[in-house]
């Protein structure tokens, strides 16, 4: 079985593949300084919940934007599971041509999302990931990564309002019944949902004008469903896009793949 992990700034998404089938998936809070022993205990518990032992895992693919965890993740996969490890980093085969000024600056999660999107859709593509930051990535019809946009994520924006504005409360981020709110909580929710969705639509439109053909827009991440229900230019929502991309990268790099 293949264990895939996308380690983000806030959330770590974990998937377990049995062949092409996603057998199980989990979301966990990212702990920046967990040891390999802590990770081992945690993952063993997840596997036990599926009736599996660590020996069932013979492959791992990891993308991480949290460098302090990388050594522990490498030790976990190589020494605890004894699994073939592919770490998404410069030099790993992805099938993408990275056409930016400094390819090493592009986050591993963004590369994996692009690979996952190309597994499901033909380019050109705009891939949006609603995470701690919301990222927009432009992929050409030829599978070239052309660059993108980074903006604060919805939750990041909400937290900033709460922390920086003394009289504004922390709110649950849900779609309010109307744009013009009737109280402070509705005002904030309207800005975080309708306002954010309009920003997303606007950036999609601006990006599309710089691309050679009309792109297909694919969204993933924690707030993808919420925003896609309000925005008008998101064509597809795929909650497992990153996991699919990790599996695809592993298959391109595993021993004997050529």
Confidence of residue 80 (pLDDT cuts 50, 70, 90): confident
Q: Which domains does the chain have, with CATH numbers?
A: 2-87 (3.30.420.40), 97-244 (3.30.420.40)
Q: What is the mean pLDDT of residues 47-69?
A: 91
Average pLDDT over residues 61-88: 91
Closest CA to 8 of 85, 108, 82, 88: 108
Residues 16-25: pLDDT tens digits? Answer: 999 999 999 9
- Confidence check: pLDDT of 257 > 90: no
| Mean pLDDT for the stretch of residues 161-181 | 94
Cβ atoms 30, 8 nearer than 8 A: yes
pLDDT of residue 228: 97
How much is the pLDDT for 256?
Answer: 65
Two tokens, residue 91: 């030099």
3-state SS, one letter per residue, for the chain: CEEEEEECCCEEEEEEEECCEEEEEEEEECCCCCCHHHHHHHHHHHHHHCCCCHHHCCEEEEEECCHHHHHHHHHHHHHHCCCEEEECCCCCCCCCEECCCCHHHCCHHHHHHHHHHHHHCCCCEEEEEECCEEEEEEECCCCEEEEEEEEECHHHHHHHHHHHCCCCCCCCCCCCCCCCCCCHHHHHHHHHHHHHHHHHHHHHHHHHHCCCCCCEEEEEECCHHHHHCCCCCCCEECCCHHHHHHHHHHHHHCCCCC
Residues catalogued as catalytic = 109
Instruction: Report yes or no: 10 and 50 within 8 Å, Cβ to Cβ.
Output: no
Amino acid 255: pLDDT: 79
pLDDT reported for residue 5:
95
The token pair at 225 is 């469903």
What is the per-residue pLDDT across 185-217, written as a single tens digit (0 to 9) for each?
A: 999 999 999 999 999 999 999 999 999 889 999
In angstroms, the CA 215 to CA 218 distance is 9
Q: pLDDT exceeding 90 applies to what percent of the chain?
A: 81
- Distance, in Å, from the CA atom of 219 to the CA atom of 118, rounded to the nearest integer, reads 13
Please state, in angstroms and rounded to a whole number, the distance separating the CA atoms of residues 240 and 233.
Answer: 20
* pTM (2 d.p.): 0.92
């Amino acid at each position: 079985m293949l264990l895939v992990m996308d380690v983000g700034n806030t959330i770590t998404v974990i998937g377990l593949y049995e062949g092409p089938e996603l057998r199980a998936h989990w979301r966990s809070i990212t702990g920046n300084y967990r040891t390999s022993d802590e990770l081992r205990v945690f993952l063993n518990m997840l596997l036990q919940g599926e009736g599996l032992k660590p020996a069932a895992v013979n492959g791992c693919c990891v993308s991480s934007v949290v460098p302090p965890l990388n050594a522990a993740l490498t030790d976990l996969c190589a020494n605890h599971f004894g699994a073939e490890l592919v770490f998404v980093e410069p030099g790993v085969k992805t099938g993408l041509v990275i056409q930016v000024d400094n390819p090493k600056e592009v986050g591993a999660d963004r590369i994996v999302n692009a690979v996952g999107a190309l597994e499901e859709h033909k380019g050109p593509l705009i891939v949006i990931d609603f995470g701690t930051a919301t990222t927009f990535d432009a992929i050409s019809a030829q599978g070239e990564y052309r660059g993108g946009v980074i903006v604060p994520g919805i939750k990041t924006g909400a937290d900033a309002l709460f922390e920086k504005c003394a009289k504004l409360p922390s709110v649950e981020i849900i779609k309010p019944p109307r744009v013009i709110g009737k109280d402070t909580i509705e005002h904030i929710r309207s800005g975080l949902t309708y306002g954010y969705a309009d920003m997303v639509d606007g950036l999609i439109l601006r990006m599309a004008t710089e691309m050679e053909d009309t792109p297909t827009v694919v969204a993933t991440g924690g707030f993808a469903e919420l925003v896609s229900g309000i925005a008008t230019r998101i064509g597809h929502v795929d909650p497992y896009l990153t996991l699919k991309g990790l599996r695809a990268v592993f298959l391109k790099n595993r021993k004997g793949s050529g």
